[in-house]
Structure formats: C-alpha cells, structure tokens
Chains A and B, each alone.
Chain A
Amino acid sequence: MLRKLYATVSGSCCADNPDSPQHQEVLLPGSLYGMIIKERMEEILNNIRSNIATDVRNGLAVDFNDSEQYGYIFFVHILITTFRAIFHESLIESQFRHWFKAGKLPRYWQFGLSNWS
C-alpha cells in the first residue's frame, strides 16, 4: 500500500477510477442483513455491559467469595438483561418489517453507506 501511494505521488502509477466496475462489487441482500443484525446485536450486548459496569462503579460491591450474595445479584442481573435483550430483539424484528414495508431504513441505521432507499 505504501509503495502504491508513493508510486501514485511520483506519477509512475495513475489514479484508479473508483467508478469503473473493475474496482466495484455488489452488496448482496444477505450480507446487508448480516451487517445490520450484527450491529444491532453488538449494541444490545454493549448496553448490557455498560449497565453492569455502571452498577459496579456505583459500588454495588460484589463479594466473590460470598457465593450466595454474588449469585443472587448476578441472577437478578441476568434476568433484567435478558428481558431487555428480548425486548430489543423484537424491536429489531419490527424494524426489519418496517424497512421492507416502507423501503426506508431508520435514520440511525445508515452506517457508512450512502444512497439508501
């Protein structure tokens, strides 16, 4: 890459045309679903993590040796977070449905790609 950069600067290699099919590929719908689902899932997991992290920071002290107390807190956490995740998952489904119906993605989904519709 560095060599190509320097070659471009010196003029021994001409600039590629990003509009030519030689430098393009097609985004298949399956990959698109994959990207979206991955991003949503990542967001859910991050939410779960940040919730736990906040609790830990707020001094929700966990004594790892006291298995009963830790187990209890952890159990409640798992419950809450799973419910949230399920809720979010149904959200993903409804968003997908909306996408197919209306032909438009929610604004905050438009990651890095232009020309959506």
Chain B
Amino acid sequence: MSSADLVRHHEEPEEFGGYFIINGNEKLIRYLILPRRNHVISLIRPSFSNRGPSYTQYAVQIRCVRPDQTSVTNTLHYLQNGSAMLRFTWRKQEYVIPIMLVLKALVGASDREIFEGIMMQEYENTFLSDRVELLLRSFKLYTMHTGEQCLEYLGDKFRVILNLPEDWTNAAQGAWLIQKMILVHLDSPREKFRMLL
C-alpha cells in the first residue's frame, strides 16, 4: 500500500510493523517509550550533582532526531558558578563542553549578542542578568575571542576521538563535531545558536 492508502486506513505512513511468525510462534516487537523528539524538558535530579565538582541538580534535556530517525540527546547542566555545560554521547562515551565554547564556535557570536539573546529585553530580571554575566565572565579563562579559534580548539581536543581524516584542519573537525553532535535536528549553525539561547 502507498503512504496515502496507509493514512486512509489510519495507519502510520512509513512504518511496516514489527510482527513476525517464526516457527509457528507469534513474535512482535514491543514498542518502547522514548523522550519526545526535539522538545526541551527541564529536569531536577539530585544525581546530576554527582557528575563532578560544581555540578548541580538542574539540567535541561533535548532528544534531537535526524531525518533518518536516529537521535542524539543533548543535556545542558547548570553549574554552581552560573555557567552551563553541554553534554552529548558519541560512540557510547559521554563528553561535556562549556556552552560558551559552543555558542562562540557556532556563529562566532559576540558577548553582546549572547547577552542580548539570552536576556530578550528582560533587563529587570536581575537573577537572569547575573547568571549571564557570570557565564560570559567565566569564559574569559579560555582567552578565545573568535568563532574560528573556538572551532580550532574543539577540533584539537576531539581530534583523537572523532577519527576523521588526518589531513583535516582542526577547525574543520570542530565544525564537523558541532554539525553531527549538537542539536542535530537543525541544519544551520544560526538555528542551533538560537535554539541554545
């Protein structure tokens, strides 16, 4: 049946089911429950604070789905110093990178751009402005200013793990990492940037 016919019969258009008969026995694939796709949920789990020094129980999580239905889960952890760490999984290993590094690497955003983007005109909210200030200040440790520098830094650190062609530049590797690991349901870096804010 075509997709249109399937929909007419109230079936899933692109699904062919998990029902089999093997040696006369019925076998079916049980449906598993997953977190909803492309949807940010906030979590408070005491176990998050055991992840490392200065981690807190707060985090937001999103499960991003690629067009081929495979997914990547990105988690944003809140740290005690007001900044945040982005966590993703690659080849069954977890990695965390500072969110500022990602924001800068994505679009080469200026501090002002990030500040205005997060504040969204809500200047009287001092809690928020304090956190954003801390976030921006904490990144000064890294002494990286342009997006290109951030990409090079990322590529340099992840070169061994990514296992990409050895003649790629660090910046290219960093860009690949961001494209393949972070908010994979969005195409352009600008969209990813806006989503992260």
Are A27 and B40 in contact, with the CB atoms below 8 A?
no
6 contacting pairs across A/B (C-beta < 8 A): A5-B42, A5-B76, A6-B78, A24-B34, A25-B33, A29-B31
Given contacts A1-B60, A18-B41, A112-B92, contact A26 B31 (CB under 8 A): yes
Are B15 and A28 in contact, with the CB atoms below 8 A?
yes
Which residues on B are within 8 Å of A, measured CB to CB? 12, 14-18, 20, 22-23, 27, 29-37, 39-44, 56, 58-60, 62, 68-70, 73, 76, 78, 84, 89, 92, 99, 118, 120, 127-128, 131-132, 163, 195-197
Contact mask for chain A residues 1-25; partner B; CB cutoff 8 A; 1 contact, 0 none: 1111111111001111010001111
User: How many Å lie between the Cα of A6 and that of B73 in the bound state?
Assistant: 20
Are B68 and A5 in contact, with the CB atoms below 8 A?
no
Interface of A: prevailing SS: helix
Contacts of A5 in B (CB 8 A): 42, 58-60, 76, 78, 84
Are B36 and A23 in contact, with the CB atoms below 8 A?
yes
Contacting residue for A25 out of B18, B35, B195, CB 8 A = B35
Contacting residue for B39 out of A23, A26, A31, A38, CB 8 A = A23
Contacting residue for B35 out of A7, A23, A28, CB 8 A = A23
User: How many Å lie between the Cα of A9 and that of B131 in the bound state?
Assistant: 10
Interface of B: prevailing SS: mixed
Which 5 pairs of residues, A with B, have the shortest CB-CB distance?
A29-B18, A16-B41, A31-B69, A8-B42, A15-B44
Are A115 and B60 in contact, with the CB atoms below 8 A?
no
Given contacts A2-B196, A5-B84, A35-B69, contact A24 B16 (CB under 8 A): no
Contact mask for chain A residues 74-117; partner B; CB cutoff 8 A; 1 contact, 0 none: 00000000000000000000000000110100000001110101
Check A59 for interface membership: any CB of B closer than 8 A. Answer: no
Are A113 and B32 in contact, with the CB atoms below 8 A?
yes
Contacts of B99 in A (CB 8 A): 2
Which residues on A are within 8 Å of B, measured CB to CB? 1-10, 13-16, 18, 22-32, 34-35, 38, 46, 100-101, 103, 111-113, 115, 117
Q: Which residue on B lies nearest to A11, using beta carbons?
A: B127
User: How many Å lie between the Cα of A14 and that of B42 in the bound state?
Assistant: 8
Contacts of B32 in A (CB 8 A): 26-27, 32, 113, 115
User: How many Å lie between the Cα of A117 and that of B27 in the bound state?
Assistant: 12
Are A25 and B36 in contact, with the CB atoms below 8 A?
yes
What is the distance, in angstroms, from A8's C-beta to the closest C-beta of chain B? 4
Are A27 and B31 in contact, with the CB atoms below 8 A?
yes
Contacting residue for A1 out of B70, B76, B128, CB 8 A = B76
User: How many Å lie between the Cα of A11 and that of B82 in the bound state?
Assistant: 15
Q: 20 more A-B contacts (CB under 8 A) besides A1-B76, A3-B118, A28-B18?
A: A2-B76, A5-B58, A8-B44, A8-B78, A9-B56, A9-B131, A15-B42, A16-B42, A24-B36, A26-B31, A28-B15, A29-B16, A29-B17, A29-B31, A31-B69, A38-B70, A101-B23, A112-B89, A112-B92, A113-B32
